[in-house]
Each structure stands twice: as C-alpha cells, then as structure tokens.
Amino acid sequence: MPLLAVVVAAAFATASGASYGVGEPSGSWDLQTNYTAWASSINFQLGDQLVFKYSLEAHDVVEVTKASYLSCSASSPISALRSGEDTIKLDRPGRRYFICGVPGHCDSGMKLQVRVAPPGCNSPPPPSEMDGTPGGNGTPGGLCLDGSPSPSPTIISTPGVISYNSAPGSSSTVSAALVIAATTMLLISMLH
C-alpha cells in the first residue's frame, strides 16, 4: 500500500506542471532581463505556472492582449497583479502576453510573450515567433503545426547542462526523478 501512495504522488507531481521563475536563473521581472531569449528556451505546457518576482514599489505584472503587448498599453488589462510575487497558471493553450504597466518599462523591454503548447505538442516555438515582430503566418510555432506530437525530444541546453523536455531546475525535472524512483521501487517489490 505505501508503494501505491508513492506511485500516485509521482504521477500527480508529473501532471501538475512545472513552475518557472520568470527570468531565472540570471534575472527576474526587471528592466535588465531579455524575456524573448528566456521564453524561447522553454516549452511551456498546460498546467505549468509562471512566477513573477519583483519589487512591488517599482513594477507590476499586467496580462494584456496581443495588440496591447505590441503597443505596450496597459489601459485595458486582462488582469493586473501587484504583490511582488505573482503566480500565473498556464491553463489554456495558445499565446499569453504580459507587460509591466509602469510607464516606460514595457517600451524598455519589460514584456513577456509565452506560447502554451497544446496537449501532446513537444516543441517550443521558433525564436522569430517570440520576438513580437510582424511577419508570422499565424500558425503555431515549432514542430507541432498539425497538432501531432514532435517525434524527437526537445533538448534545452545551458553551458554544461542538458535537460530533456524541461528547463534545468524546473519542477518537471524533479517530477521525472520521482516517477523513475517510484517505478524502480515497484519493480524491486515485484521481484521480492
């Protein structure tokens, strides 16, 4: 019975998604981080969450439409958050747009566009689709143009680190380790 609890806990951890600190590991929600580069290296999936950490005296997080993102306008927000540590669950596939609503900050680069892959899609969008420039054809990026899974794993690399299907240090990496440990324990118990 305890083994079943471990297997169930591991499966739940995998299904709950990864948590990404926006701009981490070298930045946060600030004026110095390149969010286009940061987001282009991550394959966001349904159930993942974004954690915006920032000085609440200096910044905020405003979710906006694509048009408001491109024009850096916070005048008609989808939502506005101002706690200094805001968590946003990525609960639907498609693109989501976030800006800092403090005047001048979005124009200085404090804006983030993420693409949440549809179920079964295993590929991040190409960087050209993430830069906010016109010219895309409106189709989802990456290798999931027809909605079918990518035939090969997504490899995200950082100098000295290789991680398959998740960013280094994300909760997906921990979840995968839990699933492997639970499976190993199940196999050992079956042998005895």
Q: Domain ranges for the chain, please list them.
A: 1-17+170-192, 19-156
pLDDT digits (tens, 9 = 90+) for 69-125: 999 999 999 999 999 999 999 999 999 999 999 999 999 999 999 999 988 776 554
Average pLDDT for residues 132-149, to the nearest whole number? 40
pLDDT at 128 over 60: no
Class of domain 19-156: mainly beta
For the chain, give the DSSP string.
-HHHHHHHHHHHHHHT--EEETTTTT--SSSS--HHHHHHT--EETT-EEEEE--TTT--EEEE-HHHHHHT--SS-SEEE-SSEEEEE--SSEEEEEE--STTTTTTT-EEEEEEEPTT---PPPHHHHS--S---SS--TT-TTSPPPSS--EEEETTEEEESS-TTSHHHHHHHHHHHHHHHHHHHHH-
Mean pLDDT over each residue of the chain, to the nearest integer: 74
pLDDT reading at 37 higher than 70: yes
